[in-house]
Chain A
Amino acid sequence: MGANAILDPTGGAGGSARGDVLASPRATLRGATVGLLENTKQNAALFLAELGRLLSERHGVAAVVQRTKTAFALPIPGEQLDELVAQCDVLITGVGDCGSCSASAVADGIAFERRGVPAAVICSDAFEVTADAMAELKGAPGYRYATTAHPVAVLTPGEVRKRAEEALPDVVELLTGGTA
């Protein structure tokens, strides 16, 4: 597995593991408002901001709304979920770079999906166990998310931007189902 990869724990070959309760991918990101929910982990804000910049530059995204979670270990508060659902067409969240935050990032992604907002969750590869288990606990076994190599916290700003660029194709595929 490369530095970044979309993880499909079901082992399916390109098939959807999103579950029938999750949001349909958006056909295109052109003109979309993208929500960025960063979880306060070191380098998460830069990672997501760079993704937002690249999506605007290369995929015609119209606007980016960046918000910060109040506690990385806990699910997104309902009020913040409502605000982002109202404002955004798609959402990116991360970086799940520890046990609790990878689990809560997946829980958040599923929460957005169930509100009709396609989401791309980014976790580091050391925490696939907790991310996958949380997906099962939330009734979405096989929920797909993007991974990047652990650790993220120690990277330099330049390295973070490079990781974000490497993650971009997977993020776009998660949000669009590969149609963009």
Chain B
Amino acid sequence: MIDQDGLKAMQDMLATDGYRLDATERGDRVDVRISVADPAACSDCLAPEPVMRGILHKQLKVPEAAIELTYPEDAG
């Protein structure tokens, strides 16, 4: 179960840098999709994926291995 307070904190933090975060639970997996909300978003301001995965684990309180993380450049 995703920690909703942690999710909100992540969403607020990423919004400050111009990004949107959506998290969806699918069985024992958690899909986390980060997308560009502001065309002026700074791409370097997004933490590298391994760091972001660790941060999401701490904030969402879900196992790191359960997180399916999609970055803006990965979105189809």
Contacts and interface: CB of A to CB of B under 8 A. Distances in A.
Given A99-B17, A127-B13, A130-B13, A73 B45 contact: yes
Main secondary structure of the interface of A (DSSP, over half): helix
B30 to A, nearest CB: 16
Contacts of B12: 126, 129
B42 A130 contact: no
A62 B4 CA distance: 49
B16 A133 contact: no
Contacts of A73: 44-45, 47-48
Interface string A91-117: 000000011110100000000000000
Given A127-B16, A130-B13, A100 B59 contact: no
Nearest to B8: A129
Given A126-B16, A127-B16, A129-B10, A99 B58 contact: no
A82 interface: no
User: Is the interface on chain A under 10, 10 to 19, 20 to 34, or 35 or more residues?
Assistant: 10 to 19
Given A99-B14, A99-B17, A150-B16, A130 B55 contact: yes
A126 B51 contact: no
A72 to B, nearest CB: 7
A133 B47 CA distance: 12
A1 interface: no
A28 B68 CA distance: 48
A126 B13 contact: yes
B48 A130 contact: no
Contacts of A133: 54-55, 58-59
A159 interface: no
Contacts of A100: 44-48, 51
B51 to A, nearest CB: 6
A99 B49 CA distance: 12
Question: What are the nearest 7 A-B pairs in CB distance?
Answer: A98-B45, A133-B55, A100-B47, A133-B58, A126-B16, A137-B54, A129-B13
Interface of A: 71-74, 98-101, 103, 126-127, 129-130, 133-134, 136-137, 150
